Amino acid sequence: MIKNHRTIAWAFCFILLFSLVFTGDGQATERGAGPGSEFDVIVIGAGLGGLAAATHLGLNGYKVLVLEQHDKVGGCATRFERGDFTFDASLHEMAGGGPGKKDRGLYELLKLWGIHKKVEFIELPQFYRSVFPDMDIRLPSNWEGFKTVLKEEWPEESKGIDRFQRLCEQTYDDLMELKDLYRCGPLKAFFIKTLVPVRQRTFFKYMNKTLQDVMDDCFRDQTLKAVVSQLWVYYGAPTSEQSALLGLMATEGYLGDGVWHVKGTSQALSDAYAERIRELGGEIRTGALVTRVIMENGIASGVETKDGAVYTARYIVANTDPYQLAFKLVGEKHFPAKYIDRLNEMKPANSLFGVYMGLNIDLAELGYEDTEIFYQPYTSDAKTLYDTMMRGDFRNGAVAITIYSNYGDPIYAPKGKSVVTLTAYSDMDIWPEYGEAYDAFKEKKVNELVELAAELIPELADPECVEVKEGFTPRTLERFTMNKKGVVYGFYLSPEQWEKVPNRTPIPNLFIASNWTQVWHGMTSAQINGWQAAQLIIDGD
């Protein structure tokens, strides 16, 4: 029961994700820095969570400074060039990013902030193609198309397919009904929570279950279950260990609101935020590694950067992982033992390993017209695939093959050429420290992953076609984001860890806005986490 209450409490915060009770009207309001502080708020890190927090605060009149260790903004949401090719470092598919079909979700925030005018979103017609030993199927990125394809293949499971859609929508609606809870007084909140088992029944039923439980409730055929739960490859936990709520909400996010990419890569989104923050009077400094949060009488009063500069502020928002924040930047002694114990008990998600590839052929012209392919030719069992990848056996696991040059955005490759990214899950612990052993191991693993993908697209392994082949590992991701063990998803999203860590820390003026807090992970949630942390500051003032 206690666990249920904690999960419900989490959900109240999660509701913020979709709670569109925004108070701003797109105009910045007046608010100077507090007495003695240079800034109202310092944001540590310019990933999407940090950028979104800074934008919302700037719009509400706060004087904001963003400090980013890298030489450009975006964190994971970035791009880079190699020869003729441009690579999006991360984004394949974003949920709720564009003008949504149901007028809800992230796009509402982007409109509030004025970001939507600075960025063009590309709606991807294909959700994904799943290739298993006994199945090769393409799913469109909307409910109608998604269900039609499934029903054609599994007509005897029609009712279950409809039921799955209802569960996704009901879970979403249940959470929407709870959307104002985070602003309620304790008494009202108590009554609403008490009624959850009766009023938000779908949410209540699945809050402690796995996505596998949902699959078993809806479907009989094992391959159908594997196809519908395919997005486990995006969420950081296999179906049998993944929170049901995450799977249900995210599927509704994609199929209800559309599957989106950003024209000009995810860097264009990050740059749009940076431009907006500056328009709103905020400052962004890149190449500024924060090494310490300065504490005075239990309050965070400012930060120090690697070059010894000190900046003061009334509030600090960390777009970092909570481990760096607690153990390196602030210091364990400033947190209650309970908070530190919780961090130590929580399990971080896995990291990723992959290969960025530039080809001198046009894959679409050769008949490869997909955008996102999940290729797993040896088994459809998610747990087996997950364990295989985590052991470092990338030849026999699953690979996500993303063909960026099929997005219709010329930025990726010149005419007649193609850009492809291969992605798999990986555990930092299998990777040697940087050095010769690392380089040799990385080369071997890059070739293994390419070999697997080349079973489907042989040109990927043809030296005559390949102009760029560059691997990234958990070490690469750790270096660029400073996230513990190169994790890009925050905490492992099992039902037990559904609550994650709140945006509010035990230090009254210190907040976290990153994939490690509250709402689920990925670019959509990072931005909503940013809004959420900022809104808590605004509410408290």
Residues that bind ligand FAD (CB under 6 A): 44-50, 67-70, 75-77, 90-94, 289-290, 319-320, 324, 352, 354, 423, 477, 481-483, 488, 514-515, 521-524, 526
In the complex, minimum distance from the CB of residue 354 to ligand FAD, in angstroms, rounded to a whole number: 6
Rounded Cα distance between 246 and 376, Å, is 22
Rounded Cα distance between 311 and 31, Å, is 18
Token output for 363 = 């894959």
Comparing C-alpha atoms, which of 238, 234, 200 is closest to residue 381? 238
In the complex with ligand FAD, the residue whose CB is nearer, 7 or 525, is 525
Comparing C-alpha atoms, which of 80, 172, 103, 149 is closest to residue 404? 80
In the complex, minimum distance from the CB of residue 216 to ligand FAD, in angstroms, rounded to a whole number: 27
In the complex, minimum distance from the CB of residue 352 to ligand FAD, in angstroms, rounded to a whole number: 5
In the complex with ligand FAD, the residue whose CB is nearer, 60 or 514, is 514
Rounded Cα distance between 390 and 351, Å, is 9
What angle do helix axes 266-279 and 48-59 make, rounded to 10 degrees?
Answer: 30
In the complex with ligand FAD, the residue whose CB is nearer, 8 or 115, is 115
In the complex, minimum distance from the CB of residue 397 to ligand FAD, in angstroms, rounded to a whole number: 16
Q: What is the DSSP string of 415-463?
A: TT-EEEEEEEEE-GGGSPPTTHHHHHHHHHHHHHHHHHHHTT-GGGG-T
Comparing C-alpha atoms, which of 473, 382, 458 is closest to residue 420? 458
In the complex, minimum distance from the CB of residue 537 to ligand FAD, in angstroms, rounded to a whole number: 17
Rounded Cα distance between 482 and 320, Å, is 7
Amino acid at position 398, single letter: A
In the complex with ligand FAD, the residue whose CB is nearer, 240 or 481, is 481
Do 380 and 135 form a contact (C-beta atoms < 8 A)? yes
In the complex, minimum distance from the CB of residue 228 to ligand FAD, in angstroms, rounded to a whole number: 19
Rounded Cα distance between 526 and 518, Å, is 10
In the complex, minimum distance from the CB of residue 25 to ligand FAD, in angstroms, rounded to a whole number: 26
Q: Phi and psi for 304 in degrees, rounded to 5?
A: -120, 140
In the complex, minimum distance from the CB of residue 80 to ligand FAD, in angstroms, rounded to a whole number: 12
In the complex, minimum distance from the CB of residue 191 to ligand FAD, in angstroms, rounded to a whole number: 34
Do 82 and 88 form a contact (C-beta atoms < 8 A)? no
What is the 3-state secondary structure of 482-541? CCHHHCCCCECCCHHHCCCECCECCCCCEEECCCCECCCCCHHHHHHHHHHHHHHHHHHC
- HSE, side-chain direction, 13 A CA sphere, residue 138: 9
In the complex, minimum distance from the CB of residue 185 to ligand FAD, in angstroms, rounded to a whole number: 31
In the complex with ligand FAD, the residue whose CB is nearer, 49 or 61, is 49
- HSE, side-chain direction, 13 A CA sphere, residue 262: 30
